[in-house]
Amino acid sequence: MKVQRIGLTAGTIRKVDIASEISDQESYPYLMSFAFDLATLKASIASVGLINPPILREGERGDMEVVTGYRRIRAAHELGIQEIQCMVVSCHAMNANHALLVAFYDNLATRSFNVIEKGLALEHLSRFHTAAEIVETYMPLMGLAKRKEVYEQYLRIQRRLTDSVKWALAKGKIQLKTAEILLEADEENIDIIYSYGKQLNLNANQWHQFVDMTVDLMKIEGVSARDLFDELGISSVIDQDIKNVPQQVNTVLDILRSRRYPKVTSTQKLLRRKFAAIEMPPGARIIPPPNLEGTEYKLEVLFKEGSSLRANLLKIANDPNLISLEPPLSEGLKVFEGHGDKKGPRK
């Protein structure tokens, strides 16, 4: 792997007015920061000042571009500092690609990139370098596999996801695999799905289930996310003022699961009825395999001493309703063949 040697052309140190010279978003064409916390940096600047001056690239008309130090500039601005010392390099001495590589290596040397920042870096690099060069040379430096499909995945995330979804991804609220499923929808539906999920305050695993089932159902039924949520009553569940948020989340996921996997859901209902018919002693329960993907049930029994365990096990074993309980797959086949649960799923 050949890495281009990057040198920094000498510039001049001068005071720069933050508000007047670099407040425009166009001043950050090399930005590789997203969803960051300035608290520690602000405390440092407030205590000892700005130790390392940001590097700015000055255009022919005196306009400034931030090459390095975006976070430092933001922190100083939030502290009410009007002017800061910067190293200013002429655009004639540092072209745009040179400035980008200085920014890239400066960030690499001081911190790790989050998921979105990797996409930002790849997006910037794509302006000056071929996909093959980026995959071979720059992606390994960010801990990414040298595969073109990974490169394209990060570009899709950078170009198509809204800032709110990117923030959730950068903070680990949603997983990369969840974001990939979201990208199967258009921008309007992505916004709606994210808005509904955010109101439920989902954890990462719940987010994945919510997005996976929603996008699947949208494709299967040919409907928008909003129409799907309205038809299933999910909009009403979310709009309710329910203090028990976990219960609300479970309700929404159960609704989606029933629609996406109607036969599995019907089998689970059938099993719950059979479990209820078995007279279980206190502290005992039968647990089916998750999503009915296993071949065995699990019996859980709480007991204080051996004699009570023996009595409870005998009570369970002698219950006549236990004989009707067949293996999970057999119970499922009853539903698949139209037996057991007479109420069919909605089409």
Looking at the structure, tell me whether residues 188 and 251 fall in a common domain.
Answer: yes
**How distant, in Å, are the alpha carbons of 125, 194, 253 from that of 211?**
31, 8, 10
Looking at the structure, tell me whether residues 246 and 196 fall in a common domain.
Answer: yes
Q: What is the model's pLDDT at position 2?
A: 52
The domain total for the chain is: 3
Looking at the structure, tell me whether residues 75 and 134 fall in a common domain.
Answer: yes
Cβ neighbours of residue 201 closer than 8 Å, sequence gap 6 or more: 245, 249
Q: What is the model's pLDDT at position 10?
A: 73
Instruction: Give tens-digit pLDDT for 198-225.
Output: 999 999 999 999 999 999 999 999 999 9
Residue at a domain's end among 230, 260, 290 = 260
Q: What is the model's pLDDT at position 35?
A: 93
Question: 102-107, long-range: CB within 8 Å, 24+ apart, which pairs?
Answer: 102/6, 102/8, 102/55, 102/67, 102/68, 103/30, 103/32, 103/67, 103/68, 104/30, 104/32, 104/138, 105/6, 106/55, 106/67, 106/68, 107/32, 107/33, 107/68
On whether residue 3 sits in a domain, the answer given is no
Looking at the structure, tell me whether residues 29 and 143 fall in a common domain.
Answer: yes
On whether residue 4 sits in a domain, the answer given is no
Looking at the structure, tell me whether residues 277 and 145 fall in a common domain.
Answer: no
Whole-structure pTM value: 0.76
What are the φ/ψ torsions at residue 314 (nearest 5 degrees)?
-65, -40
Looking at the structure, tell me whether residues 112 and 235 fall in a common domain.
Answer: no
Counting as low any pLDDT under 50, the low residues of the chain are 1, 339-347
Pair 167, 32: CB distance under 8 Å: no
Instruction: Give tens-digit pLDDT for 269-320.
Output: 778 888 888 888 999 998 888 767 778 889 999 999 999 999 999 999 999 9
How deeply is 295 buried, as exposed, middle or buried, from its count of CB atoms within 10 A (0-12, 13-18, 19+)?
A: exposed
On whether residue 85 sits in a domain, the answer given is yes
Number of other residues whose CB lies within 10 A of the CB of residue 172? 12
Whole-angstrom distance, CA of residue 335 vs CA of residue 265? 10
Pair 90, 125: CB distance under 8 Å: no
Pair 334, 303: CB distance under 8 Å: no
Kindly tell me the sign of the dihedral angle through the C-alpha atoms of 321, 323, 327, 330: negative
Looking at the structure, tell me whether residues 134 and 57 fall in a common domain.
Answer: yes
Residue at a domain's end among 135, 160, 185 = 160
Looking at the structure, tell me whether residues 138 and 246 fall in a common domain.
Answer: no
Q: What is the model's pLDDT at position 18?
A: 85
Whole-angstrom distance, CA of residue 149 vs CA of residue 152? 5
Looking at the structure, tell me whether residues 234 and 315 fall in a common domain.
Answer: no
Q: What is the model's pLDDT at position 27?
A: 74
Whole-angstrom distance, CA of residue 167 vs CA of residue 119? 13
On whether residue 98 sits in a domain, the answer given is yes
Looking at the structure, tell me whether residues 191 and 241 fall in a common domain.
Answer: yes
Q: What is the model's pLDDT at position 290?
A: 76
Whole-angstrom distance, CA of residue 170 vs CA of residue 204? 12
Pair 264, 332: CB distance under 8 Å: yes
On whether residue 1 sits in a domain, the answer given is no
Which residues form the domain of 300? 271-336
On whether residue 316 sits in a domain, the answer given is yes
Whole-angstrom distance, CA of residue 167 vs CA of residue 169? 5
**How distant, in Å, are the alpha carbons of 15, 105, 222, 264 from that of 213?**
55, 40, 14, 14
On whether residue 201 sits in a domain, the answer given is yes
β 55-58/83-90 pair status = parallel
Looking at the structure, tell me whether residues 198 and 251 fall in a common domain.
Answer: yes
On whether residue 343 sits in a domain, the answer given is no
Residue at a domain's end among 133, 160, 187 = 160
Looking at the structure, tell me whether residues 156 and 16 fall in a common domain.
Answer: yes
